[in-house]
């Protein structure tokens, strides 16, 4: 009987995402360029031949390209979890009402 751990850990080969033909396209849109670069960074990061330090740089580039994609689609960056869970800041109340001196005649 085979080792059960050997059945779980198979050699992973990344499958490139499906691409459409871009024949006759003179200039790609910035969004298409971001998608292409993001796909390429993902495939290179999953390649076993890629050195670890290059994989780290590709992961940072992928995050930047994801932010660019969201910006180009008009979504913007999501708020951090701390900002969502924080209590709203309240305006401090004054200690006593302001009393103005009576006008002198």
The tally of domains found in the chain comes to 1
User: For residue 9, is pLDDT > 50?
Assistant: no
Is 17 within a domain? no
User: For residue 70, is pLDDT > 80?
Assistant: yes
CA trace torsion 79, 84, 87, 90 (10° rounding): 40
Single out the residue of 45, 82, 43, 78 nearest to residue 60, CA to CA: 45
CA trace torsion 15, 21, 23, 25 (10° rounding): -100
Is 87 within a domain? no
Q: 17-62, pLDDT tens digit by residue? A: 556 656 556 677 888 888 888 888 888 888 888 899 999 999 999 8
Is 14 within a domain? no
Task: Tell me the residue range of the domain where 48 lies.
Answer: 29-75
Q: Which residue has the higher pLDDT, 76 or 65?
A: 65
pLDDT for residue 31 = 85
- In this prediction, residues 5-19 reach a mean pLDDT of 55
Q: 79-104, pLDDT tens digit by residue? A: 777 766 777 777 777 677 778 888 88
Single out the residue of 35, 41, 1 nearest to residue 18, CA to CA: 35
Give CA separation, 21 vs 24, 37, 42, in Å: 9, 16, 20
Is 24 within a domain? no
Cβ atoms of residues 77 and 70 within 8 Å = yes
DSSP 8-state assignment for residue 55:
H
Is 66 within a domain? yes
- In this prediction, residues 73-79 reach a mean pLDDT of 79
Q: Kindly report whether the global pTM for this prediction surpasses the value 0.85.
A: no
Is 12 within a domain? no
pLDDT for residue 34 = 86
């Amino acid at each position: 009987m085979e080792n059960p751990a050997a059945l779980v850990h198979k050699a992973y080969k990344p499958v490139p995402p499906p691409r459409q033909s871009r024949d006759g396209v003179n200039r790609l849109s910035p969004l298409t360029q971001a998608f292409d670069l993001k796909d390429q960074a993902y495939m290179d990061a999953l390649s076993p031949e890629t050195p670890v330090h290059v994989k780290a740089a590709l992961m940072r580039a992928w995050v930047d390209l994801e932010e660019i994609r969201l910006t180009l689609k008009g979504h913007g960056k999501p708020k951090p979890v701390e900002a969502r869970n924080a209590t709203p800041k309240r305006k401090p109340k004054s200690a006593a009402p302001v009393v103005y001196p009576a006008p002198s005649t």
